[in-house]
Amino acid sequence: MEFGLNESQEILRDSARRFFAGECPMSEVRRLMETDTAYDVALWSKLAEQGYTGIIFDEDHGGVGLGKVELILLMEEAGRALLPGPFFSTVVLAGSLLNSVATADQKKKYLAPICRGEARATVAILENKASWDLNDIQMAAVGGKLSGEKLFVSDVAVADWILVLARNGVFVVEKGSPGLTVSAMASMDLTRKLYTVAFHNTPAERLGDLAAAGSAIDIATTAIVAEMVGGMQRTLDLSVEYAKTRKQFGKVIGSFQAVQHQCADMYLETESSRSAAYYAAWALQENAADARAAVSIAKIYASDAGRTVGNRGIQIHGGMGFTWENDLHLYYRRAKASETAFGDATFHRERLARLAIDTKSVASQSA
Amino acid sequence: MDLNLTHEEVAFRDEFRAWLAVNVPTDWAAWRGKPLEESFAYLRTWQRKLHEGGWAAVSWPKEYGGRSASLMQQAIFWEEMARVEAPPMANALGLGLIGPTIIACGTDAQKKRFIPKILSAEEIWCQGFSEPNAGSDLASLQTEARLDGDHYIVNGQKVWTSYGWVGDWCELVVRTDREAAKHKGLTVLLVDMKSPGVEVRPLRQMTGESEFNELFFRDVCVPAENVLGKVNDGWNVAVSTLMYERGSYGARLHLIFKRNISRLIEIAGSTPRNGGTAVEDPVIRQKLAQCLAEIEIMRLNQLRAFSRITATGVPGPEGSIQKIFWSELNQRVQQLAQEIMGPYGQLLAADAHAVDKGVWSYGYLRTRGNTIEAGTSEVQRNIIGHFVLGLPRSY
């Protein structure tokens, strides 16, 4: 049993870290977040050149064919850099969904251009009740057309395709289709833009069954946890650095236990989130029996830890941490958006209860 | 990353599992919960049996009677022990902490003299580290040893000594140089507990039992050949013992915690709450799921730490994460048990209405000590702050 990274995984992580540090420094994050879409054409083509846009997809579709563990190492680094724009929506979410529900021809049509970096896509899940339980989806296609509204859809403005979860299947809608109205939602995370999408008799192509979407959402959930780990790590690094240099009462504040113990807890929370994310990715890759539980466990822990680490980091920075100029609030905003994405800790605790507690009490009743 | 067991690990597990299936005692449940004084002979017999099978000290090098087991194999060993609810071994400190320290720091004569009887449980070991005025600040300890010809004269007091009442030998940290800086004037002595001048008193703890003792040393004579390691290098010897404390033993904790939470789920399933059962109560479900999640993360943190230690060769300060994590989690699990059981949670073993013979009221009180024993949570956070994150020493 080996829970460390192998050499090629370490190389991937290190080169991703260098790539994001060089191509996506905080100055670039701040520039992009002030734009309407947080999308940059040049950065996108560099992501594609690295092979990141096809990282987990088959070489048949122009992908790189790596596994889920490699994906989360990349996402961790993207999270550390606070990578803005549609990478997560396109590659992780839409890509995984296409990969699990679409036919071979559809993959060629939609997934291959994503792998090559030529197209972007997103997935519309939530409706006005904002429930992450797929059973609560109301929208349904009638005669190959969709009507109704989806909310909290990320990066729609730069997406060529919107994948839509409907009661009677997963559908794809092309941008600019008849009856499609897209409007921006003003939301906390400035680096990942959200939209409402209204459909009115909008033509849609069916990709597959809704039931097949679950596994793609589990991959996306694990990837977003990894991204959260990267954000936590960055918050921890910035805070420890600050605690080592900021002086009050003639001493660096990191020499006070009240500050130092906050840092220790941030470390514990970050490392524990990382353990959970790595295991969930491995379990998904191996189709382990406990994979779904592992995904929920990772999202439970990281959802709370991401927020807590952010709180501690800003607290350690004192007044500086509360300024616009300091980068911490950008991570703090992303952490909140990611906490609610695909269900927060409360949602996943209930999901875990159904997976691990109800089955157990049924077993003990029948025993 | 590959979390499947290797062939060697599977072979190791299967061999031990097969051995346990034949040899593990089936009547341990009847002894459980009784005072250690009553069950100790039983535990000695059990350890002897493990030793005869070659399983008493799997982590030790082969030439000293171990199996040179990897960390993962050690973890497997403890998991298998927990899986069959095997009794603990009588000489837990000798096998887990002191034996490895003697192997690492001892002379050939010391190894020959002490190691075999640690394995066979013929000689039980205890640890004389903490003092009334030296707890977290261990290096400030005052128990003194003065060289007088070919022996030391020891005077002082130790506290929180597990197995003191049954100990034949003690790994004792003493001050041998009052002039030196506090870490530099310490020496470790191997002390015969039957020496004149050694007095052992039980220390009654808040659970009502006496797991620990106080030790008093009055002009106790210890031969100079019983110095472990070098004179005035006792801090390093003691630290290496404490490193073993955070070793593979923790691998069994997640199984014990899982068993507790499974039982708790069972109890919640038959506890009425708001017209249904407690297990259907949304708040209780949330808390049960949170504990389940954290128990699994505790296991994963441990596995990652093992992989890191295996790669780097040294047990690092990451052990502090585990210590904080399990001790605080254990307290939360016990509090949840209290919430589920309501008034029944407070009943002691002596009460006929007690759930599970009072283990939950005992657990609630006993786990209060978890964040204090073996390095307080505050000391663990200091270790992370200073040694992992590189912040200035805060104490």
> Which of A252, A264, A365 is opposite residue B392, by nearest beta carbon?
A252
Contact B303 A3 (CB under 8 A): yes
Residues in chain B within 8 Å Cβ distance of A360: 262, 265-266
The shortest C-alpha distance from A138 to chain B (Å) reads 25
Architecture of the domain spanning A7-115: Orthogonal Bundle (1.10)
B27 and B73 share a domain? Answer: yes
Share of chain B above pLDDT 90, in %: 86
**pLDDT (tens digit, 9 = 90+) per residue, A299-333?**
999 999 999 999 999 999 999 999 999 999 999 99
Pick A121-209's CATH classification: 2.40.340.10, 3.30.1490.100, 2.40.110.10, 2.60.120.10. 2.40.110.10
Cβ–Cβ below 8 Å for A1 and B9: yes
Q: B62 with B143, same domain? A: no
Residues paired with A47 in a beta bridge: none
Supply the pLDDT for residue A365: 44
Residue A279 forms contact with B (CB below 8 Å): yes
- Residue A51 CB neighbours (<10 A): 17
**Is the ipTM here above 0.90?**
yes
Indicate whether B264 and B356 sit together in one domain.
yes
A349 and B394 within 8 Å at the Cβ level: the answer is no
Contacts of A297 in chain B (CB under 8 A): 292-293, 296-297
Distance from CA of A351 to the nearest CA of B (A): 9
Judged by CB atoms within 8 Å, which residues 2-21 of A form the interface with B? 2-6, 9
Helix (H) or strand (E) holding A147: strand A145-154
pLDDT on residue B218: 98
Is position B186 within any domain? yes
| Per-window interface: A 201-240 vs B, CB < 8 A | 240
- What are the extents of the domains in chain A? 7-115, 121-209, 212-359
Residues B253 and B362 occupy one common structural domain: yes
Which CATH number characterizes residue B298's domain? 1.20.140.10
Top residue of A2, A301, A348 to mutate, by most chain B CBs within 10 Å, is A2
Q: 3-class DSSP state for residue A281?
A: helix
Q: Which of B297, B308, B328, B393 has the most A C-beta neighbours within 10 Å, making it the best mutation to test the interface with A? A: B297
The arrangement of secondary structure in A212-359, i.e. its CATH architecture, is: Up-down Bundle (1.20)
What pLDDT score was predicted for residue B230?
Answer: 97
Instruction: Label residue B23 by pLDDT band (50, 70, 90).
Output: very high
* End residue of a domain, out of B220, B238, B256: B238
Supply the range of the domain harboring residue B152: 125-238
What confidence tens digit (pLDDT) does each residue in B59-118 have? 999 999 999 999 899 999 999 999 999 999 999 999 999 999 999 999 999 999 999 999
Please indicate whether residue B245 is annotated as part of the active site: yes
Best probe of the A interface among B6, B10, B300, by most A CBs < 10 A, is: B300
**Residue B147 belongs to a domain:** yes
**Same domain, yes or no: B261 and B371:** yes
Q: Is A130 helix (H, G, I), strand (E, B) or coil?
A: coil
Task: Measure in Å the smallest separation between the Cα of B325 and chain A Cα atoms.
Answer: 8
CB atoms near residue B101 (< 10 Å)? 22
Instruction: Inspect the interface and report whether the beta carbons of A278 and B304 lie closer than 8 Å.
Output: yes
Q: Are B352 and B283 part of one and the same domain? A: yes
Q: What is the pLDDT of residue B310?
A: 84
Question: What percent of chain A clears pLDDT 70, i.e. is strictly above it?
Answer: 98
CB contacts, 8 Å: A69 with chain B: 1
CATH of the domain at B160: 2.40.110.10
Using pLDDT thresholds of 50, 70 and 90, give the confidence band for residue A233. Answer: very high
What's the Cα-to-Cα distance from A229 to each of A60, A188, A233, B103, B182, rounded to whole Å?
31, 19, 6, 41, 41
Average pLDDT (A10-22) is: 98
| Chain B residues closer than 8 Å to A6 by CB | 1
Model-wide pTM > 0.90: yes
pLDDT digits (tens, 9 = 90+) for A352-362: 999 999 976 55
Last residue of a domain, one of B66, B90, B114: B90
Residues 157-186 of A with CB under 8 A from B: none
pLDDT of amino acid A360: 65
Residues B347 and B304 placed together within one structural domain of the fold: yes
Q: What is the pLDDT of residues B265-318, one digit of tens each?
A: 999 999 999 999 999 999 999 999 999 999 999 999 999 988 888 887 766 667
The pLDDT > 90 percentage for chain A reads: 97
Pair (B259, B205) in one structural domain: no
Per-residue pLDDT reduced to its tens digit, A265-276: 999 999 999 999
Note the pLDDT of residue B210.
87
Does a structural domain hold residue B215?
yes
In this complex, do B289 and A300 lie within 8 Å of one another by their Cβ atoms? yes
Q: What's the mean pLDDT in B153-182?
A: 96
Q: Residue B247: is its pLDDT beyond 70?
A: no
Strand A121-124 vs strand A161-166: parallel, antiparallel, or unpaired? parallel
Average pLDDT over residues A173-188: 98
Closest CA to B88 of B125, B54, B17, B39: B39
- Quick check: is B105 in a domain? no
- B273 and B371 within one domain: yes
Asked whether the beta carbons of residue B300 and residue A3 sit closer than 8 angstroms, the reply is: yes
- Domain total for chain B? 3
User: Which residue, B90, B108, B137, sits at the end of a domain?
Assistant: B90
- Residue of B9, B144, B245, B328 marked active site: B245
Residue A164 above 60 pLDDT? Answer: yes
Task: Report the residue from B6, B285, B391 with minimal CB separation from A1.
Answer: B6
List Cβ neighbours of B51 (8 Å cut-off, separation of 6 or more): B57, B65, B119, B120, B121
Inter-chain contact B282–A350, Cβ cutoff 8 Å?
yes
Q: Is the pLDDT of residue A262 over 60?
A: yes
Do residues B348 and B355 make contact, with C-beta atoms less than 8 angstroms apart? no
| Residues B359, B250 within the same domain | yes
Q: What ranges in chain A are assigned the alpha helix state H?
A: 7-23, 26-33, 41-49, 68-81, 87, 96-101, 104-106, 112-115, 213-245, 257-285, 291-321, 328-340, 345-352, 358-366
CB-nearest to A3 from B282, B304, B388 is B304
Query: What is the predicted pLDDT for the residue at B245?
Result: 65
> Is B100 within the bounds of a domain?
no
pLDDT of B246 = 59
Backbone angles phi, psi at A5, to 5 degrees: -90, 145
Say which CATH number the domain at B15 has: 1.10.540.10
Residue B106 placed within a domain: no
Q: Which residues contact A148 (CB under 8 A, 6 or more apart)?
A: A127, A138, A139, A198, A199
Q: What pairing do the DSSP bridges indicate for beta strands B169-175 and B125-128?
A: parallel
CB contact under 8 A, B384 and A240: no
What average pLDDT does this structure show over A34-47? 98
Report residue A331 as tokens. Answer: 């991570």
Mean pLDDT of chain A: 96
Predicted pLDDT of residue B155: 98
Examine residue B349 and state whether it is found in any structural domain, yes or no.
yes
Mean pLDDT of chain B: 94
Judgement on whether residues B277 and B354 belong to the same structural domain of the protein: yes
Confidence band of B209 (pLDDT split at 50, 70, 90): confident
From the list B72, B304, B391, the residue facing A263 with the nearest CB is B391
Kindly report the nearest CA distance between residue B216 and chain A, in angstroms: 34
Whether residue B371 lies inside any domain: the answer is: yes
- Specify the pLDDT at position B31: 84
Q: Does residue B250 contact residue B302 with C-beta atoms inside 8 Å?
A: yes
Residue B227 has pLDDT above 60, yes or no: yes
Q: Give the residue among A156, A150, A176, A172 at the shortest CA–CA distance from A85.
A: A156
**CA B211-B34-B25 angle, 5° bins:** 110
Decide the pairing of beta strands A169-174 and A180-185.
Answer: unpaired
Residues B328 and B228 in one domain: no
**Which residue out of A268, A355, A358 would a mutagenesis test of the B interface target, given it has the greatest number of B Cβ atoms within 10 Å?**
A268
